[in-house]
Amino acid sequence: MEISLLLAISLFAFVMSVTPGPNNIMLLASGAQFGYKRTLPHIFGILIGIALLLASVLLGLGLIFDRYPAFYDLLKVVGTLYLLWLAWKITTAPTDENSFSHQQSNNSPMTLVNALLFQFVNPKAWAMVIGSISSFTLAGDRYLESGLWIMLCFAITGFFAISLWAYLGVAIRQQLTTPKRKKVFNYTMGLMTVTTLFFILN
């Protein structure tokens, strides 16, 4: 692989991963509520999910959207309903003095498996993956090799990009010292999660 192409793939992967979307808003909320360490399974679930999406598109699964547009519409509906449920969970998260304590919280961060599965109903993730495969894969014998490099670039740059959102949540956590502030934060995160529907419905 040429260095210039690798740099282009890495830049694309970083920009696509760091821009606002459902994953990053949820990581921001998780970082604020649970801290970075407990958010790591969520982060790795996203990365593994994206890798599986890339692999499926490399193997031709992305053609389903071209042949059966109704499948993409169904994905949008499922993704929308799931995001609305997540927004409700974030908005109604506990705001008492112990709600952000690791030991005493009754809530738990998103698991690796749940975060992984969410990528399959996340149209922004599909668009990102299909865009990268169509733009950066090489023809012929180098198709698989270039696809593997795309997966590697997304894994490495994606980790740092989405970790920024979790760390931002950790920084915000220091300001959430009263139930009122926590409540305002929860409502803000819930609203921002709903606004990410823009990426699904457009």
Question: Which tens digits make up the pLDDT trace of 139-180?
Answer: 788 888 888 999 999 999 999 999 999 999 999 988 877 778
Supply the range of the domain harboring residue 194.
3-92+110-201
Structure confidence at residue 27 (pLDDT)? 95
Q: Per the domain annotation, does 99 fall within a domain?
A: no
Residue 53 forms part of a structural domain:
yes
Determine, yes or no, domain membership for 87. Answer: yes
Within-domain flag for 153: yes
85 found inside a domain: yes
Per-residue tokens: 88? 């409700």
102 has a pLDDT exceeding 50: no
Query: What does the pLDDT look like over 19-54, one tens digit per residue?
Result: 888 899 999 999 998 999 999 999 999 999 999 999
Burial (CB count within 10 angstroms: exposed 0-12, middle 13-18, buried 19+), residue 170 = middle
Identify whether the C-beta of residue 39 lies closer than 8 Å to the C-beta of residue 115: no
Please check whether residue 184 lies inside any domain of the structure.
yes
The predicted structure's pLDDT at residue 104: 38
How many folded domains does the chain comprise?
Answer: 1
pLDDT band at 76 (very low <50, low <70, confident <90, very high): confident
**Secondary structure of residue 102 in the 3-state scheme:** coil
The answer to whether residue 21 sits within a structural domain is: yes
Residue 101: inside a domain: no
